[in-house]
Amino acid sequence: MVRPRPESDVTPAFPAPGSGPSPRSPEHWPLRTCVGCRETHSKWQLIRLRRLGETLDVDAGGRAAGRGAYICAKMECWEAARRRRALQRALHLPAGVPVPERVAGLVASMISNSAPETGWGPVRGQEEVQSRS
């Protein structure tokens, strides 16, 4: 369970889980599955990785093109994903492709910078592309 951010001067871009029907359309409340724990969370609470050629990279903005994989900003999920090679699988990379040191370091720093109840992420929701038709 994730607590919502305290209301301050910004309008939350997403409703509190369990608070009833979303006032916004589902496009504003995108859910993604963590490849580490398989739980579903708002994508703003997850770290996105993406395939980059024959390797993978951190997608800090969460919007880069390409196939993506998501993990919670939690070390246990990151470790589980790496151990099971879930990232490679999600990104359709060969299982033997290593996670680059730079990527591992970036993810670790994002995890350590993340407050558990707020997650981390770009400006929440407001800039999300609604559809790519």
The residues binding Zn ion (CB under 5 A) are 34, 36-37, 72, 77
Q: Provide the minimum distance between the beta carbon of 120 and Zn ion in the complex, in angstroms, as a whole number.
A: 13
**Which residue, 13 or 46, is less far from Zn ion as judged by CB?**
46
> Residue 36 or residue 125: which is nearer to Zn ion going by CB?
36
Q: Are 38 and 81 in contact (CB under 8 A)?
A: no
* 14 vs 5: CA distance, rounded Å: 10
Contacts of 78 (CB under 8 A, 6+ apart): 36, 71, 107, 108, 111
**Closest distance of CB 35 from Zn ion, Å:** 8
Among residues 32 and 124, whose Cβ is nearest to Zn ion? Answer: 32
CB of residue 31 vs Zn ion: minimum separation in angstroms?
13
Task: Tell me the CA distances in angstroms from 32 to 38, 46, 64, 100, 127, one per residue in order.
Answer: 9, 8, 15, 23, 17
**Of residues 115 and 129, the one with the C-beta less far from Zn ion:** 115
Report yes or no: 44 and 14 within 8 Å, Cβ to Cβ: yes
- Find the shortest distance in angstroms from Cβ 71 to Zn ion: 6
Give dist(CA 130, CA 108) in Å, integer: 30
